[in-house]
Amino acid sequence: MLKRSHIVALHSVTDTGTQMCAAYYSRAIHSGEILHSYEYCRDLKRNSYTVQIVDGTYYQIETFIVTDVGYGENC
């Protein structure tokens, strides 16, 4: 079951229902690079969970979620 804050975030990109199952991950590969989440790094002495997107804005990765958004699509 998804956390409430994650449901709100998913609603910003798709019209998902509120009763969905999800898999949570602490690392992911994007464009050949391993990205870490805060959950993975909190016991380490480095910050590899802060990312800068193309417009120059910085974000911290809390976690990675994979969920079925309907119509056989995953997000």
pLDDT at 41: 74
d(CA 69, CA 75): 6
pLDDT (tens digit per residue) in 13-72: 776 555 567 888 999 998 898 888 988 876 677 788 888 989 999 999 988 988 877 777
pLDDT at 4: 83
pLDDT at 10: 77
50 Cβ contact partners less than 8 Å away, ≥ 6 residues apart: 58, 59, 60, 61
pLDDT at 16: 58
